[in-house]
Amino acid sequence: MSALATLSNRLTLPYQRGAEFAAIPLGADTAGVTAIGPYGFDEYGARWGQDPQVPAYVIAPRTDIAGDDVGLSIGYTLNGIAGTATVTVPSGTRAGTGFLIPLPSQLDASLRLTSLTAAPRPAGTGSSQWEITALLGTLARLVFLLGAEKDALARVRSDVRKMRFVDKAFGAGLDALGRDMRVRRFPPRPYSYDDATVALWHLDEIVPNGGSVVDQATRTGVPGHPGTVAGAVAGAAGKYATGFAFPATGGAITVAASADFDIGATADATIEAFVSTSVPGDTVPRAIVARRASETAAGSVVPGWSLCVVNARGFNANLLFAICDGAHEIRIFADLSIGDSRFHHVAGIVDRTRQRARLFVDGVQRATASIAALGAVTPPDGVRFGSTAAGNNLAGTIDEVRISKVARTTFHPALGEDDDAYRARLRIFRHWVLPTPANVIAMINQAAPFPTDPAPYQLFEANRATQVAQCPVRIVPATLGIGGALAADGSTARDESVAGTPADDVGFDPSLDLVGYVNAGVDASADPGHGRMQAGAAKMLDALIGRLGTTPGKLVLTHSFDVAGPTPLHAVGRALRLRHTTLAVAALGALAHRAGFAYVRNLGAELAVAVAAGERLLVIGAPAGAVRADAGSAFDLTIAPALPLAGTFSWTVIAPAAGRVHLAAHSADPASLTTPVAARPRVRLVLDGPGDVAVRIEYGRGGRTRSGTLSLRVDPVTLADGHGLDTVGNPDPDPATIVGLPDANFDPAYLVTHPASPAIDFGANPNNAKMQVVTRDALDALVALLVARGTAGRLRVTQALVPGGLGVESVGRRLVLGHETLDAGVLGALASRFFDYVARAGAAVSAFMRPDSWIEIVDAVSSAPLPAEVVVGTPLNLAILPGAPPAGVYNWSTRVIGAGAGSFDTVLRPTAHFTPSKPGLLMLAVTFVQNDSSRAAPYSFELRLKPALDVAATNIPKDQYDIIMNVLDAFHPIGIEVRTDRIRQHVREIVQDPTKAFPAYSFSNFRV
C-alpha cells in the first residue's frame, strides 16, 4: 500500500482530487471484534467543497500471513441497514498487500464500515494487524491497482537484499550463503523426543510377530507406549533405516489405550508418520495411523481419529484426516495422490488456538477446516498402525510415527533442516573463532540451548592426575653382517661420506694434524700408516679398546693414514681398517658402532671405520683418561701431536665461576722460564673447586688455528658444616629454587619402599625406607659409589618420609643421611654427585631431589633401572615403579629422538614387552592417568551437562546432539580429544544404537 501514497503525491493539482484517499481508524477489540470508526470525510469536503462520490475500501495486513487463510468479516451500515462483506486473505500474503472490500452498489458516500472480525484471529489487536484505506476518487482506485504491482516488486527487491544476510535470508538464498561458508543443510533425520512428544516410534526394530517396538518417550518413571507387532513385517526398507511392512491381507502394530492419547476440548495434537503405499483397489479407507474403531468412506460419528489412504474426490490414494468427538466429525482431504510407492510425510493437526484442523503432505498444508464445534476426543481405543480393529488394512510400509500434544508448525528435522535451525547453525560458522575452552562452550550453548536453560552444557578441561615416565635407550646391533654399514645414529650408511669428506678438513697438514697412536692392546705393525690418525679417530679407538674389555687377543690396525687411500678419508687420517685376532668381524663391527664411530662397515675380512671432522689436537694428562677429578688435585697437560714451537700456543680455561680452576707451570718446566703460562706448549691444571670445567688449547701457525679440548667434572671432597651443594658442585645455592614445594595432590601410593640392604641401615622406623622413586635411584647410586670406593661400614638413613611434614619430606623427596665410618663432610660431598641438593648440619646430611615424575620405567623382574643400551631383537620386560599406583590407565609408547625403533606387545597394561628392531636412539615412555571421574584425561576436554541436569530424566534430542558434534568437529583445538561420553548417555537413539553417535553429516565431509 506504500505505492498508493507515493504515486498519489506525484500527481499535479488538477488530478489530486481524484487521487484522494483516507486512512480509516480501527478502535478497540471487544469479544474478538474490532470496532471501526466513527469516521467521516470532512477534510475532503473542506478542500473540494463536496463529499466524495462513491468511496471504495481496501484492507491490508500489517504483518505477513502465515499458516491458514484468514477470513475477514467487515460490518457496515448503508441507509440505516447493517450488512457484512467478506474477504479471504490467503496464507502467505505479505504485509501491505491490499484487498478490495466487496460492498453493495451505492449512490453516495453515506456507507460506513463498523466492525472487523478475523477468523482465525492473528495474535494481537485488530488495529495492530490490519489497516483499512478509503479510496475517495477514481484516480485513487487506478493508482491502487497500479501500485499493487509496484509494491510487489518492492517486496521482491527487499527479499533480494535480505539474501545477503544470514539473519534475514531464507530458502534457496540461505542455502547459497551456506554453500559460500561450506556448511550445507543437514539431510532429513529421524525425530528425537522432546517435551511436546506423547509417543515416538522409530520402527527400526527387527522383531518377530508378537515382538515389541520401542516408544522413544519411555524414560525414568515414564513407561511409555510400546507397540506390539500383530502381523506386520519388520525389516522393510524405511524412510530411515528400516520400517514395518503391512500386507494387504491384514497386519498391524497395536498400542494399548491410554489417556495420554486423549485430545481435550482445548488441547492441541499432531499425528504424523512416513508412509509408502500404492493405489488401493477399492474405496475402503486404508489406515496409516488410527485411534478409531473403524473408518468408512461415508464418514461416521464413531469417536476417534485416523490418517487414511482412500480413493476419493477424484484422486486415487487420496489422503484423509478424520476426527470425531462422538457427535461431530471433521473430514479433510489432501486432494493429492500419494500412491506412488515413495515415502511421504503425512500429518494431521488439531489446532485449538485457531480452531482449525489441518492436513499436511510432505510439509505442505493441503487442507484445513474449522473445528469450532469439536469437543474432546477421548475414544476407548488404542492406537494402531496399518489397520483399524474393523479392518481398513493398508498395503505399504510405515516408518517414524509420532504423536504430539502441540499443533506442530514445522517438521524439522524429519523433512530436513528448516530455515530457523539452519540459520542458527550458520551463525556459528560466520566467523572464525579461536577455539579456547570458553569460546567452544559458548558456541555449543548458543547452538543447543534447553528450553529451561540457555546454557545447559559445561566444559571440563581440568586434567586427571597424570604421570609420564621416559627412559632413553640406545638400541645397538648384536652383530654387523658382511656388507652391512651403520652411521653413528644407527641408520644404514651408504658409504663413508656419512662421516664427511676431505674437504671438511680445511688446511690439513699431516705433520700438524696426526697423532701416532700407541696402545698395548693394538697391533699396528702391518699398518702402512704406522698408526697415524687424527685426534678424533684416536679417541674412538680408545673407546673401542674399552668396549673390548677382557676379550682375549688384540685389535689389529691394518690401515690408517694413507694419501693413496683405500678411501678418501684415509688421506686425512679419519678412516681406519681394523680386525681382531680372536673376535669375528661381525661382532667387532657392532662394538665399533657402540664405541661411537661415525661410519662402520663389515668388509668381510676386516672392518672399515671413520670419524667425523673435529678438533685435531689431543689434550693429554687427566688421570687414565678420566672425566671426573677431585677438587684440590692437579696434573700436567701436554698436547698430541707434538707441535713445532714456531707456532703460537694459547690455553683457555672455561669454568662456571672464578676460583674453581687455574693454570700453573708444567712440573717439568724450569722455574727460570719467563714465557706466560697460557702461551706455553704444556701447562699444569690445578683444580681449586667443584664444578664443570673445560681446558682448551689453540695452536696457530701459517694463518690457521688448530684446537683441542679437555672437559672435566670437578667433584667436591668435603662439605663444610652449615653449607650446601648442588649436583654440579655450586656452593650454597638457593634450595628453594631446586627443591621447590611439596608435590601438589601427592598420593602416598606413589611411594616405594626400599628393600632391605646390607649396605644401608634404615633404623627402626618403617617410614625411613619409604621415598619417591627418583630418591631411591639417587640413594642406590650413592651406595654403589661407596662400595666401589671400598668404604667400610653402612650408610644410615635416619629419616625419609615424614607424613604431615611441612617440607618435601612429606612426599618422599628428602633423606637425612649418616654413615658408620665416613666423615659427614665427605659423605655430603659424595651425595652431591647424585642428589640435586645436599646440606650438612653437623653429622647429619640432608639430601634432596627436585620435583620429578612419580613413576619410573624399570625392569619388570628386578625393578632395576633399564640399561642404557639394548640389543636389537632382545625383548625388554617393562613395568613401572611403584608397582601398585592408584587405579588408572596405562599407555606405553615410543618417542622419536633418533633412528631407533621397536614395538610393544601391548600398550594398555601395567607391564609390557618391548622388542627393539632398529638401531639408534629411542625414548621409551609410559603415561599413567589416574582414574578421576570429575576430571578430563590429558590432551582432552569433556563436554557434560550441568550437574542439576546430568540426571537420568534429562533427554538431549538427537538433532541437538548432531549440532553439538558439528560445532565440536569444526572448532575443537587441533590435537585435543573431545569426550562426549556423558552427554551421549542422554541421547536415547544413541543409547539404543551406539552407531548413531557419529553421523557423517555432522563431520567434515558435510562441511566440504
- In this predicted structure, the answer to whether residue 202 has a pLDDT above a threshold of 80 is yes
Q: H helices within 181-258, ranges in order?
A: none
Q: Does domain 856-930 have CATH number 1.10.3470?
A: no
Helices and strands (DSSP H and E) totals, the chain = 17, 60
Average pLDDT, rounded, for the chain: 93
Q: Where are the beta strands (DSSP E) in 734-794?
A: 752-753, 760-761, 770-771
**pLDDT in the model for residue 1007:** 37
Confidence of residue 1003 (pLDDT cuts 50, 70, 90): low
Q: What is the predicted pLDDT for the residue at 1006?
A: 37
SS3 28: strand
Domain 197-416 coded CATH 2.60.120.200: yes
Each as own residue / partner, the long-range contacts of residues 590-593 (CB below 8 Å, 24 or more positions apart, any chain) are: 590/476, 590/477, 590/478, 590/479, 590/480, 591/544, 591/547, 591/548, 592/544, 593/476, 593/477, 593/480, 593/486, 593/488, 593/490, 593/919
Rounded to the nearest 5 percent, the helix, strand and coil shares of the chain are 20, 35, 45
Asked if residues 765 and 777 have their Cβ atoms less than 8 Å apart, the reply is no
How large is the average pLDDT for residues 336-349? Answer: 97
Q: What is the mean pLDDT of residues 592-621?
A: 96
Strands 242-246 and 396-404: antiparallel
Residue 332 pLDDT > 50? yes
Task: For the chain, give the percent of residues with pLDDT over 70.
Answer: 98
CA distance 816 to 798: 6
Q: Is the pLDDT of residue 323 over 60?
A: yes
CA gap 770, 489 in Å, rounded:
40
Task: Specify which residues 610 forms β-bridges with.
Answer: 575, 599
Q: What is the model's pTM?
A: 0.66
Write the pLDDT tens digit of every residue in 531-570: 999 999 999 999 999 999 999 999 999 999 999 989 999 9
User: What is the percent of the chain with per-residue pLDDT over 90, rounded to a whole number?
Assistant: 79
Query: Do the bridges between strand 522-523 and strand 555-559 make them parallel or antiparallel, or are there none, so unpaired?
Result: parallel
pLDDT, position 432: 79
**Better-predicted residue by pLDDT, 430 or 539:** 539
pLDDT tops 70 at residue 1004: no
pLDDT of residue 1008: 31
Residues 688-714: tens digit of each pLDDT: 999 899 999 999 998 899 999 999 999
Q: CA–CA separation, 89 vs 130, rounded Å?
A: 11
Give the H/E segment covering residue 128: helix 126-129
Residues in the chain: 1008
Picking from 384, 415, 200, the residue whose alpha carbon sits closest to that of residue 286 is 384
Which pLDDT value is given to residue 120? 85
State which amino acid sits at residue 298: A
pLDDT at 221: 78
Question: In degrees to the nearest 10, what's the CA dihedral of 390, 393, 398, 404?
Answer: -30
pLDDT given for residue 816 in this prediction: 98
| CATH code assigned to 2-161 | 2.60.120
Residues 70-103 pLDDT 10s: 999 999 999 889 999 999 999 889 999 999 999 9
Q: For the segment 757-766, what is each residue's pLDDT rounded down to a tens digit?
A: 999 999 999 9
pLDDT at 659: 62
Q: How confident is the model at residue 1005 (pLDDT cuts 50, 70, 90)?
A: very low
Q: Cis ω on the peptide bond leading into residue 120 (within 30° of 0)?
A: yes
C-alpha atoms less than 13 angstroms from C-alpha of 956 in its C-beta half-sphere: 29
Task: Say yes or no to pLDDT of 7 above 80.
Answer: no
Give the pLDDT band (50/70/90) at residue 147: confident
Residue 798, judged by CB atoms within 10 A of its CB (0-12, 13-18, 19+), counts as middle
| 408 vs 656: which has the higher pLDDT | 408
Residue 601: its H or E element: strand 599-602
Dihedral sign of CA atoms 585, 586, 592, 596 in order: positive
Q: What's the rounded mean pLDDT across residues 674-692?
A: 94
Read off the pLDDT of residues 464-498 as tens digits, 9 standing for 90 and up: 899 999 999 999 999 999 999 999 999 999 999 99
Q: Domain limits of the chain? A: 2-161, 197-416, 432-463+935-1006, 495-610, 635-714, 724-848, 856-930
Render pLDDT for 780-819 as a digit per residue (tens, 0 to 9): 999 999 999 999 999 999 999 999 999 999 999 999 999 9
Identical fold at 495-610 and 724-848?
yes
- Greatest Cα pair distance, the chain, in angstroms, is 148
The pLDDT of residue 658 is 61
pLDDT in tens, 923-964: 999 999 999 888 888 888 899 999 999 998 898 999 899 999
Q: What is the pLDDT of residues 589-606, one digit of tens each?
A: 999 999 999 999 999 999
In this model, does residue 395 exceed pLDDT 80?
yes
Q: Which single residue is written with the C-alpha cell 468412506?
A: 297
**Is CATH 3.30.70.100 what the domain over 495-610 is classified as, yes or no?**
no
Residue 835's pLDDT is what? 98
Question: d(Cα 925, Cα 902) in Å, to the nearest integer?
Answer: 12
Q: Look at the domain 724-848 and name its fold.
A: Muramoyl-pentapeptide Carboxypeptidase; domain 2 (3.30.1380)
Question: Per-residue pLDDT tens for 223-240?
Answer: 899 999 999 999 999 999
